[in-house]
Copies of this chain bind each other. A is one copy, B any other.
Amino acid sequence: MPRAGLTPDVVVAAAVALVDAEGAGALTLAALAKRFGVALPSLYKHVGGLDDLHGRLALVAARDLGTALRKAATGRSGRAAVAAVARAYRGYAQAHPGCYDYLLRPRPDDAEHAAASQEILDVLYAVFDGYSIRSGPPAVDAARLVRSTLHGFVALENAGGFAMARSVDRSFEKLVDALDTALSHWGGSTARERVKTGLETGDPTS
């Protein structure tokens, strides 16, 4: 019985390739074992099981996404930074749809995943600096907005949720515009004092 040269990293890499090619639901230990030409239980010498593998994928996704965002934001600020980060985010989700699906399903109490998530947050905070949104609750709110918007878009896109006959790329560019607009108005009392009749959207004297 010759050795197959498996390591945890090799197994995880194959899992990444599998989920990106066939979707997160296609990840089974049986399929992985077949790809390596080994018996299914042999995989347990390298990963702790299916849950462990899921957690490793979540970690890979968080790290790779963080790296991509960091690169995109390097040397840019303001709208250019937001646009670059947003496109990098979507680009990662498009290039690794299966992997991305595991991003939000880390192992419980996974410190490494938490660190990778923090890295993503740090990039966003750095970008907000260009909008004069410094740390504190406003920055947390802004980060939650940006993450929500980007995650929602790519989740809907990957799920086939954009069926209308309209360029998804253009819609995404509009979304980037909207994020820039929102962040530009972050500090100011944007829409708060315009609440009166419920009909009046007001005229935003930008």
- A 189-206 to B, binary, CB cutoff 8 A, 1 in contact else 0: 011101101111110101
Interface size range on A against B = 35 or more
CB of B137 within 8 A of CB of A78, answer no
CB distance from A20 to the nearest CB of B (A): 19
Which A residues from 133 to 154 make CB contacts under 8 A with B? Answer: 137-138, 140-142, 144-145, 147-153
List the number of copies, as a whole number. 2
CB of A80 within 8 A of CB of B184, answer no
CB of A78 within 8 A of CB of B152, answer no
CB of B171 within 8 A of CB of A140, answer yes
CB of B204 within 8 A of CB of A184, answer yes
CB distance from A69 to the nearest CB of B (A): 15
What are 26 A-B pairs with beta-carbon distances under 8 A? A76-B199, A77-B199, A78-B200, A79-B191, A79-B194, A80-B197, A80-B199, A83-B199, A104-B156, A131-B201, A141-B174, A141-B175, A144-B162, A145-B171, A148-B152, A148-B156, A149-B152, A152-B155, A174-B206, A179-B182, A180-B191, A181-B181, A181-B191, A182-B182, A184-B204, A188-B206
